[in-house]
């Protein structure tokens, strides 16, 4: 029997239509792609990501967990110093569907303390852990002037049933449009798949004339 995955590798048009306030894709006339990394910074995964990005003169957006940033402030600073963008991924990686809205809001504000400085106050980007948040939580984010960044292509590097080759093909087969937003994770659990895939993805699309840029306010 075919097993149905509880996620979409490529975000379907109908879900983009249901949630139009979410950012699923960045409009552009240029050959640009947007790599994003969730759940860091992590000392076993993030330095490799940064080294790869530097090699290809690429910038990316890191949706960081506040708790991880608190533990690894020098690594967070390196991300900023090398020209990448920081996004909020909550303090403790809460699932919004299972968390009271006042606690979820408190967790977002707590993460701000560890993630942002004066250079980032004009670009508040947020990605909900697991892609899940409620209407009330979305209202809070809007009031705080956050932009909710989702994805065009989910690498699914978190799926233990997928090989590293499967994860690579998820990206290569489903990322065909300029402005696509791609998700990986710079975390200890996903580091082996990411280490295999990231250099190949950077090489593949660079050879096709694409450049990789972080997401900022001017694009939204």
Catalogue the active-site residues: 38, 185
Furthest C-alpha separation in the chain: 53
- 185-218 as b/e, with b when 16 or more CB fall inside 10 Å? bbbeebbebbebbbeebbeebbeeebebbbbeee
The whole-angstrom separation of Cα 20 and Cα 80 is 29
Quote the DSSP letter at residue 158: T
Q: Which residues pair with 147 in a beta bridge?
A: 125
The whole-angstrom separation of Cα 196 and Cα 105 is 36
Under DSSP, is residue 100 helix (H, G, I), strand (E, B) or coil?
coil
CB 39 within 8 A of CB 186: yes
The whole-angstrom separation of Cα 180 and Cα 212 is 10
């Amino acid at each position: 029997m075919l097993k149905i995955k509880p996620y979409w590798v490529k975000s379907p048009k109908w879900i983009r239509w249901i949630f139009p306030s979410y950012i699923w894709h960045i409009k552009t006339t240029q050959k640009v792609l947007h790599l994003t990394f969730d759940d860091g910074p992590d000392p076993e995964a993030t330095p490799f990501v940064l080294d790869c990005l530097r090699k290809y003169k690429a910038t990316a957006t890191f949706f960081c967990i506040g708790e991880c940033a608190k533990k690894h402030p020098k690594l967070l600073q390196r991300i900023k110093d090398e020209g990448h963008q920081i996004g909020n991924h909550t303090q403790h990686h809460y699932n919004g569907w299972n968390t009271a809205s006042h606690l979820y809001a408190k967790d977002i504000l707590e993460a701000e303390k560890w993630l942002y400085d004066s250079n980032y106050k004009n670009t508040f980007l947020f990605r909900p852990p697991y892609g899940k948040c409620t209407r009330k939580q979305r209202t809070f984010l809007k009031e705080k002037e956050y932009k909710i960044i989702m994805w065009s292509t989910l690498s699914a590097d978190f799926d233990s049933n997928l090989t590293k080759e499967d994860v690579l093909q998820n990206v290569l087969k489903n990322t065909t449009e300029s402005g696509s937003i791609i998700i990986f994770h710079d975390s200890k659990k996903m580091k082996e798949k990411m280490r295999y895939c990231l250099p190949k993805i950077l090489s593949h699309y660079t050879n096709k004339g694409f450049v990789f840029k972080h997401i900022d306010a001017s694009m939204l």
